[in-house]
Amino acid sequence: MANHESSSETGANHVSDLKVAHAVYGLQAASFVLGFTSIVGVILDYARRDRVRGTWLESHFTWQIRTFWYSLVWGLLGVVTLVAVVGYFVLVGVTVWAIYRIAKGWLNLADGRPMYADQA
């Protein structure tokens, strides 16, 4: 192993990182009600990203980070364009897209599958 940890420590880290990935999907889902929890989730992702590098969990952390940033950018664009009415469609679209990404990611995580085929 590259990080020279014993297998029991590595196993414990894996379980811990798996719990973090589940928690981040939960925080992203909760953001539809609470608004700010996805920020906490992306901070957790960035804090743990190096620990999961090279594992199948890395794909979930990347998926979650991308979901956060794309949702933020498209959400802001939707708010800015609300006066032109098109913003409503942008906001509905980004909401549906984010729900899809959270659901797909969480289901793959529960099944122990990476998010991208090249990491299988």
Q: What backbone phi and psi angles, to 5 degrees, belong to 100?
A: -60, -45
Does 11 map to a domain? yes
Name the token pair of 86.
């098109």
User: Where in the sequence is the domain holding 78, given as residue range(s)?
Assistant: 7-119
Does 89 map to a domain? yes
Cα gap 91→74, rounded to integer Å: 7
Residue with tokens 């794309």: 70
Closest CA to 13 of 50, 40, 41, 43: 50
Does 79 map to a domain? yes
Cβ atoms of 61 and 49 within 8 Å: the answer is yes
- Number of structural domains (the chain) is 1
Q: pLDDT 10s per residue in the chain (120 long)?
A: 333 333 444 677 889 999 999 999 999 999 999 989 999 999 999 999 999 999 999 999 999 999 999 999 999 999 999 999 999 999 999 999 999 999 999 999 999 999 987 755
Does 47 map to a domain? yes
Q: What is the pLDDT of residue 120?
A: 56
Q: What is the pLDDT of residue 3?
A: 38
Q: What is the pLDDT of residue 114?
A: 95
Does 1 map to a domain? no
Cα gap 107→62, rounded to integer Å: 16
Does 94 map to a domain? yes
Does 32 map to a domain? yes
For residue 117, how many C-alpha atoms fall within 13 Å in the half-sphere facing its CB? 0
